[in-house]
Amino acid sequence: MSDTPRKSSAIDLGSAIKSRLTSWDSIILVLTVLVLVVASFSVDNFGTSRNFTFMVLDLLPIILIALPMTMIIVTGEIDLSVASTLGLTSSLMGWLWNQGLSIETIIPLCVVIGAICGVVNGFLITGLGLPSLAVTIGTLALYRGLAFVVLGDGAVADFPWNYTGWVTGTIGGGAVPNDLILIVALALIFGIVQHATPFGRSLYAIGANAQAAHFSGIRVARTKFWLYVVSGAVAGLVGVLWTLRYSSARADNGSGLELAVVAAVLLGGVSIFGGKGSLPGVLAGVVLLTALQNALRLEDVSGQALNIVTGSLLVLSVLLPNITTAIRGHWRRRKVRQAAAAR
């Protein structure tokens, strides 16, 4: 009698391992490693320490904005205004610098301005009940327009070298950029909040069924509101880092970045309908997307072709998980029918 539960536990463990190995997260992780290995051996200069530094610098804006974006999409919403928030804070940074404010005052001010952009989004979506897609498409145009009102078509440079040098510098003069410290620290914080706290679990409940989550005591509107505030603040911070990296405040900084962020999040296995997805999968998706773009640039592929690759990955990241789920459902129903017929 004691063998039966032991066999059942072994079957459950085997099923859990099989399910984990065939999950979308694992597939993306394997694809990422495969792309990195193949590109290192087939693309000139891809595997060099210098290229590694540039790739991490390219990763920075996408990963940082993807951290709160993952939480927003898990709840079934979206924020398409992040790149315009970045452009607006970059413009304001340049304008404030021209007014003579110190860089130590400007940086936190820009993060606050980004958070205010998130407050506007959050109020329109949770306070007035408007759809997040329509609201953030509107504020995408609004914030970018305001960025051009503030700074026009010009640029502001000459930011302090100790700040621009830190953003583009490396730890101890080696190959690891200083920015990697910020990426790792924020990824750990967001990862713990999303996967190891009651707040993180409430995001999945909201994405699965917002009405049921509300009746179970979760403050749905307030949770979503603060997610947009955090998203705006992070976009503001990225606007500061972007400006310092290129030592250039411009209204068009970060144009089109929202497409890369959404593509990376969906590629990482987060469902566009909410309720599913993990941060490790998203991080793998960002690395995969950035590595592909980096390898194509080294092969002198045009910017238009890079957009085609990003757009294609966006479509595939929506299609493939649904196709995989449909195939698994088909095989599961077939096994049930075969088991019923065998009785």
Taking only the tens place, the pLDDT of each residue in 316-330 is 777 777 777 777 777
- Token readout for 136 is 């953030």
CATH match of 47-296+306-320 with 1.10.3470: yes
- Token readout for 220 is 């749905």
Instruction: Calculate Rg over the CA atoms of the chain.
Output: 22
Report helix, strand or coil for 170: strand
Model-level pTM?
0.85
How long is the chain? 343
Tell which residue, 327, 328, 279, 333, has the closest CA to residue 29: 279
Tell which residue, 265, 258, 290, 292, has the closest CA to residue 279: 265
Task: Give the dihedral of Cα atoms 92, 240, 186, 310; nearest 10 deg.
Answer: 100
* Count of beta carbons in the 10 Å neighbourhood of residue 302: 10
pLDDT confidence of residue 175 = 76
- Token readout for 35 is 């792309």
Q: What is the rounded average pLDDT of the residues 176-199?
A: 92
Taking only the tens place, the pLDDT of each residue in 288-314 is 888 888 888 888 877 777 778 777 877
DSSP string, 310-325: HHHHHHHHHHHHHHHH
Which comes out higher in pLDDT, residue 120 or 332? Answer: 120
* Mean residue pLDDT across the chain: 88
Tell which residue, 242, 208, 243, has the closest CA to residue 65: 242
Q: How confident is the model at residue 8 (pLDDT cuts 50, 70, 90)?
A: low
What does the domain layout of the chain look like in residue ranges? 47-296+306-320
CA distance 72 to 75: 5
Taking only the tens place, the pLDDT of each residue in 123-142 is 999 999 999 999 999 999 99
Tell which residue, 138, 139, 117, has the closest CA to residue 236: 117
pLDDT at 100 over 80: yes
- Token readout for 241 is 């880092």
pLDDT confidence of residue 18 = 61
CA distance 116 to 139: 12
pLDDT confidence of residue 3 = 58
Which comes out higher in pLDDT, residue 208 or 24? Answer: 208
pLDDT confidence of residue 16 = 61
Taking only the tens place, the pLDDT of each residue in 222-240 is 999 999 999 999 999 999 9
Taking only the tens place, the pLDDT of each residue in 25-59 is 788 888 889 989 998 888 888 888 888 888 888 88
- Token readout for 31 is 């694809």
pLDDT-above-70 percentage for the chain: 93
pLDDT confidence of residue 7 = 58
DSSP string, 3-27: HHHHHHHHHHHHHHHHHHHTSHHHH
pLDDT confidence of residue 199 = 94
CA distance 220 to 215: 10
CA distance 13 to 125: 43
Give the residue ranges of DSSP H helices in the chain: 3-21, 24-42, 49-74, 82-98, 103-122, 132-151, 161-168, 179-196, 198-208, 210-215, 220-246, 257-267, 279-298, 303-342
pLDDT at 77 over 90: yes
